[in-house]
Structure 1
Amino acid sequence: MAHAPVPHPHLDARAADRAAGVLLGAAVGDALGVPYEFKATLSEDEQPRMIGGGLGPYQPGEYSDDTQMQVCIAQVAAAGADLRDPEALDAIAANFQRWLSDGASDVGNQTSLVLSIAARAPGSAGAALREAAREYTAGNARSAGNGSLMRTGIVALAHLGDPAAMAEAAIAVGALTHPDPDCADACVLWCSGIRTAVLHGTFDGVRDGLALLPPERRETWAKRLDEAEAHPPHHFVNNGWVVHALQAAWSAITRTAVPELNPAEGGFPARHLRLALEAAVRAGTDTDTVAAIAGALLGARWGCSGIPLEWQRAVNGWPGLTGADLVRLAVLTARGGNDDDAGWPSAPRLPAGGHPGFAIPHPHDDGVILGNLALAQGTEPVDVDAVVSLCRVGSDPLLPGTGVEQVRVWLVDSDGANANLHHVVDQAARQVLRLRQEGKRVLLHCHAGQSRTPAVAAVYSHLARGTDAESALRDLRRALTGGWHLHAHPELRSAVHDLTAPTVAAGARTDRGGQEAADLEPPGW
């Protein structure tokens, strides 16, 4: 049957950030859980890390089949397809088959079996896969695995404008391998949660999704959500079952406290994402899947900007994608396959707005070069080993041919546009500090080099040498000569002051993680 055109609501800067976090959040959760899958459960004082290994084995930061299969869906959704249409389902099924033969590093038993049967069956790829899954489910009492829920986040982004259509798409895409009613219900609830998180920035959508379920199953799922909120994630030990997988993920999210905003002491609400993902991994058993499920919803709530930059830098996987690639697929899906007027996120290079390129040494560290997008995208060589970009950039690497490390930061130069402003500025400054500790020369830039660049540069000065906000901004203002001036908007300037406030009464300089500032100083200070 033909469907009406898919509505795609306009996303403001904050909602776009949250949409960008869905696929990336799933991938970082997946990669964080990979090393611990079906191993001894981590204790509360053990911190999971993206060290690779696991069942793959995987490289550090590499995601598993949970995200690989979601990428198969995203490649169709990012073109603006209605995921309920037979043509879209055929394309997804064909992508699954290509993945199975080309890049699958680890495959669930049910998924592997139905894909293998469907590959030999006549008819369209989608119809053959649905029939193989239906027959498997009809003859197997244990067919409600977590293999559809783990990949469902991108489906919500494809149908943000219509919750009923979103529920139909979640059921249709899930039924390609897992048509069991519990699997269908779980995908609907989680997609509802992701949709609401992207549009409104809350976790309310999971319970709101109960209204999208068949009436006779709503009470059962309400009790299951109650149970998840009453017990820690590791209580749900059978998390290969879709119900326990959802409960473990929901428990990790709802039972993890959201930190208060206290920038000078390292308190950022967005750290809830990190803490909840670590709790999801500590659930044990199918750790990568539970964390991938939780990560999609956490990414939808806290956005790309809420995901730690070290995780964004590290995450990678089939078919050769990076964190930036996952953001591109998610944003295109949420926008119905369309770039914005500047060509983002697909364009290889973005317009520099007529600003001439400039490069000025940081007044407190000549190993940090302050610049703008025109410099970063220019043809003239820049003697750096790394680039920290504080604005949107094209899909091509910056400074082509140099092999420099690139860190992309989601930071919008507008009051009210950043839900996690303090967290992002702090993270960006710490990336500059890390790179300098590694002996690398760093280009720090935003679009014009007038606002975001000096703000992050000022916080970097505080981290490295304890410089107060006004002194740092004054010295940066003097350095940015030749017609360039500081134009930090009020919220950004306020964030700089908040982040550089004294942390201890005695006046000793400390990192907000507790490390002495003297231990953080880069070479040459």
Structure 2
Amino acid sequence: MSALHDRIEGVLLGTAAGDALGAPYEFQPPRGPELPVEMVGGGPWAPGEWTDDTAMAVAIAEVAATGADLRDAVAQDAIVTRWREWSLDAKDVGIQTRSVFRAAARGGEVTAASARTAAVTLHEQTGRTAGNGSLMRTAPIALAYLDDEDALVAAARAISELTHFDPDAADATVLWSCAIRHAVLTAELDVRIGLRHIDVARRDVWSERIAEAEASRPSDFANNGWVVAALQAAWSAIATTTTAPGTHRAEHLRCGLDAAVRAGNDTDTVAAIAGGLLGAAYGASAVPLEWRYLLHGWPGITGRGLVKLATTIHRKGRAVPEPTYPGSRVGTLAPHPYDPQVLLGGVGVLSQLPAEVDAVVSLCRVADSDVPAGRPHVEVRLIDRTDPDENPHLDFVLLDTVRAIEALRAQGRTVLVHCAEAYSRTPTVAALYGARLRGVSVNEALQDVLAVLPDANPNAAFREALRRLGEFDVSITA
């Protein structure tokens, strides 16, 4: 079940990661391979800040997290109310969405009914209401109905039609929501899985559109403000990218989002759409930590908050219990034998952080009250168990974690690396970090780490992962 939970956590996190990665490049032409794609922020967006794509998805997720049925008028009223609240101070709102909100508010309070009426009227007046705004926000709907695909289809259509009346918009949200649900449940990427829910008269058209996406480059769909082209660009970015030889399959998430951003034009939206599906297939553990700890946005939450929100949706509104660690060694603390500015410890150190620590890498879940304030906090999904299902991307996560530590050290920071008791996870990561730092074997580095953590003992799965990574000479691998 751990791998399933990882994929549930990855849906909103992947959406936000794609959104924030694409934000600096919005409305630019396709980006060539010689140019970087980085989560650097730009314009009104800070590095790691998501845009309206994720903000509108969060509003849906918040209502779903109460356990409400999103098909109900009361739940839809709550969603529209949150959207309206957000839009009043938002840095960016889609043209079509803003037009609907403005018309829906003329009679006073905005409701689902007034929004839907405004969407219909706009469609009758213009015949052009097939923007990508309802597709970009659809990811949390899939999480709300993992156990009921027919209910998912009904909810996706209804919530799409709150602002986008065109049937292409509704069809696209159904296809993508079904694909996300399927990916969460099976780890498979299949955008055709929802075709049976599309009207038979339109099914062949959508099949042809999907096939076109698979035979094209993401940048071939330049008009990706249109929902059909946005879906095609996102699916093309996923379907035409693969991981490089010798890399982990989890790298597909990074490669797919990079390709989505390089499509150009509505980069944040295309990448957000792709990110929801990639996160569903590969999980939160596949979202690079260099992105993950930067993520933030409306309504004042971070990537950590998105993970909790996704889990609460899955739990049908039941709160996620805070982790507790009753063990006797939670306060263990020792400097890394090769780098005294990397401190190795247990979770208890968070309650009294040494003054010199200005970044924290948590290898276990921590309670909200233990999240360090005012300094970078990287939270890694690493489970201290040997079943492969517990850590589906173990090698990727270990190497990604070490790279995050290296990046923080390159900034001159003193880094606390901790798990629950500094027993298994911490020495494993410390050994890999030491091997890369000193250019020694992972076995030598592990023995030196265990000398400063004499009660530690990495589990068999972690030791085997170190052996595999050592064969690739990770001490010199960038």
TM-score (norm 2): 0.96
Q: Percent identity?
A: 47
Residue 465 of structure 2 corresponds to 495
Q: Is 2:66 the counterpart of 1:112?
A: no
Residue 405 of structure 1 corresponds to 376
Pair 257,466 (structure 1): closer, same or farther in 2 beyond 3 Å: same
Residue 6 of structure 1 corresponds to none
Do 2:293 and 2:376's aligned partners in 1 also have CA atoms closer than 8 Å?
A: no
Residue 70 of structure 1 corresponds to 57
Do 1:122 and 1:128's aligned partners in 2 also have CA atoms closer than 8 Å?
A: no
Instruction: Compute the displacement of 1:283 (Å).
Output: 1.0
Do 1:21 and 1:299's aligned partners in 2 also have CA atoms closer than 8 Å?
A: yes
Do 1:381 and 1:399's aligned partners in 2 also have CA atoms closer than 8 Å?
A: no
Alpha-carbon distance in structure 2 between the residues aligned to 1:373 and 1:311 = 23
- Residues 378-417 of structure 1: pairs in structure 2 closer than 5 A: 378-379=351-352, 381=354, 383-399=356-372, 403-415=374-386, 416=388, 417=390
Alignment-mate amino acid for residue 465 of structure 1: R
Do 1:355 and 1:374's aligned partners in 2 also have CA atoms closer than 8 Å?
A: no
Instruction: Compute the displacement of 1:380 (Å).
Output: 6.5
Alignment-mate amino acid for residue 249 of structure 1: A
User: Given the alignment, which residue of 427, 441, 451 partners 1:454?
Assistant: 427
Pair 51,485 (structure 1): closer, same or farther in 2 beyond 3 Å: closer
- Residues 81-480 of structure 1: pairs in structure 2 closer than 5 A: 81-102=68-89, 104-121=90-107, 125-204=111-190, 206-260=191-245, 262=246, 267-340=247-320, 343=321, 347=322, 350-356=323-329, 357-376=331-350, 378-379=351-352, 381=354, 383-399=356-372, 403-415=374-386, 416=388, 417-480=390-453
Instruction: Compute the displacement of 1:510 (Å).
Output: 5.9
Do 2:80 and 2:110's aligned partners in 1 also have CA atoms closer than 8 Å?
A: no
Pair 510,428 (structure 1): closer, same or farther in 2 beyond 3 Å: closer
Pair 412,214 (structure 1): closer, same or farther in 2 beyond 3 Å: same
Do 2:332 and 2:421's aligned partners in 1 also have CA atoms closer than 8 Å?
A: no
Do 2:286 and 2:397's aligned partners in 1 also have CA atoms closer than 8 Å?
A: yes
Q: Which moved more, 1:456-465 or 1:124-133?
A: 124-133
1:365 aligned counterpart, secondary structure = coil
2:258 aligned counterpart, secondary structure = helix
Q: Is 2:33 the counterpart of 1:44?
A: yes
User: Given the alignment, which residue of 26, 34, 46 partners 1:59?
Assistant: 46
1:444 aligned counterpart, secondary structure = strand
Pair 437,122 (structure 1): closer, same or farther in 2 beyond 3 Å: closer
Residue 477 of structure 2 corresponds to 512
Q: Which moved more, 1:468-477 or 1:16-25?
A: 468-477
Pair 253,380 (structure 1): closer, same or farther in 2 beyond 3 Å: closer
Do 1:382 and 1:399's aligned partners in 2 also have CA atoms closer than 8 Å?
A: no
2:128 aligned counterpart, secondary structure = coil
Pair 128,18 (structure 1): closer, same or farther in 2 beyond 3 Å: same
Instruction: Compute the displacement of 1:477 (Å).
Output: 2.0
| CA deviations over 1:182-236 (Å, ceiling 9, x no partner) | 11110001001111111111102x2111012222221111111111000001111
Alignment-mate amino acid for residue 248 of structure 1: A
Alignment-mate amino acid for residue 7 of structure 2: R
Do 1:280 and 1:287's aligned partners in 2 also have CA atoms closer than 8 Å?
A: yes
| CA deviations over 1:293-339 (Å, ceiling 9, x no partner) | 01111111111110111111222212222111111111211221224
Residue 23 of structure 2 corresponds to 34
Q: Which moved more, 1:350-359 or 1:160-169?
A: 350-359
Pair 382,352 (structure 1): closer, same or farther in 2 beyond 3 Å: farther
Instruction: Compute the displacement of 1:438 (Å).
Output: 2.3
Q: Which moved more, 1:14-23 or 1:39-48?
A: 39-48
Alpha-carbon distance in structure 1 between the residues aligned to 2:42 and 2:472 = 41
Instruction: Name the Cα RMSD after superposition.
Output: 1.7
Alpha-carbon distance in structure 1 between the residues aligned to 2:219 and 2:433 = 39
Alpha-carbon distance in structure 1 between the residues aligned to 2:197 and 2:102 = 32
Residue 506 of structure 1 corresponds to none
Q: Which moved more, 1:367-376 or 1:67-76?
A: 367-376
Alpha-carbon distance in structure 1 between the residues aligned to 2:355 and 2:3 = 33
Unaligned runs of 5+ in 1: 1-11, 504-508, 514-525
TM-score (norm 1): 0.87
Instruction: Compute the displacement of 1:499 (Å).
Output: 1.6
Alignment-mate amino acid for residue 457 of structure 1: A
Do 1:421 and 1:495's aligned partners in 2 also have CA atoms closer than 8 Å?
A: yes
